A = this chain, B = another copy of it.
Amino acid sequence: MERTRRARAPGERSRRRILGQAARLATIEGLDGLSIGRLAQATGMPKSSVYVLFGSKEELQLATIEAARASFIEEVVSPALRDGEAGRDRLAALCEGFLGYVQRRVFPGGCFFVATAAELGGRPGRVHDLVAAYQREWRDLLEETAREAAEAGELGPGSDPAQLAFELSTILAGTNIVAVLHDDDAAIGHARRAVEARLAA
């Protein structure tokens, strides 16, 4: 048991190191622009080793998405679920967590899922489906939290949780694009005001 885990460790460690670089690279070059050769060069491993650790480029992309999701949960979701009590506070914490995560450039190209969602657009395939599923998961989290807030009476009387979650998620995604494209953190400030206004009413 312990033996086997230690035996598999070297492969796991290499995988983890590659995936860290892959997630960072993918926010700049795109998931398609991810090349096994460049990844090998960035980690100092031979190309064939990188390849054999994942089996195919598509599997590498899928694993990269999973790694990025783990990072997103650790950096954005978990802190908000821990700090924000519930309802509106938690909703604010999620938005602020996202904005801080973009601002401090956890990934050099901003939010991994905004970048890949825009890239994959309407293309078919497993990679697209996985990104779409996680994007929806994020919006569902916002929506459910908004629903809690609405039921607690913390939002205006006529507020629609689905509509609110839609507006917040699109504003956050759009903010990411503008902030990265112009390397301009003023966008983050605008976004904070927008979220504030939407959560006050």
Copies in the complex: 2
> Are B177 and A131 closer than 8 Å at their CB atoms?
no
CA of A173 to CA of B120 in the docked complex: distance in angstroms? 15
Q: Interface residue count for A (Cβ, 8 Å)? A: 46
Q: Which of A41-49, A57-65, A187-195 contacts B (4 or more CB under 8 A)?
A: A187-195
Known: A32-B33, A109-B122, A167-B194. 12 other contacts (CB 8 A): A30-B33, A30-B119, A110-B121, A114-B118, A121-B181, A139-B178, A163-B193, A163-B194, A170-B173, A170-B177, A171-B174, A174-B174
26 contacts between A and B (CB under 8 A): A27-B121, A29-B32, A32-B33, A33-B33, A109-B121, A114-B118, A115-B118, A115-B119, A115-B121, A117-B177, A117-B181, A118-B177, A119-B119, A120-B181, A128-B181, A132-B181, A139-B178, A163-B193, A166-B178, A167-B171, A169-B174, A170-B171, A170-B174, A170-B177, A171-B171, A173-B174
> Are B170 and A191 closer than 8 Å at their CB atoms?
yes
Chain B CB within 10 Å, residue with most, of A118, A163, A167, A178: A118
- Give a binary string over A160-201; 1 marks a CB under 8 Å from any B CB, 0 the rest: 001100110111111101101111000100110110000000
Chain B residues contacting A108 (CB-CB under 8 Å) are 122
CA of A175 to CA of B199 in the docked complex: distance in angstroms? 20
CA of A32 to CA of B32 in the docked complex: distance in angstroms? 10
Chain B residues contacting A163 (CB-CB under 8 Å) are 190, 193-194
User: Taking A181-B132, A182-B132, A182-B136 as contacts, is the C-beta distance between A28 and B173 under 8 angstroms?
Assistant: no
CA of A167 to CA of B118 in the docked complex: distance in angstroms? 19
Interface: A123 (CB within 8 A): yes
Interface: A14 (CB within 8 A): no
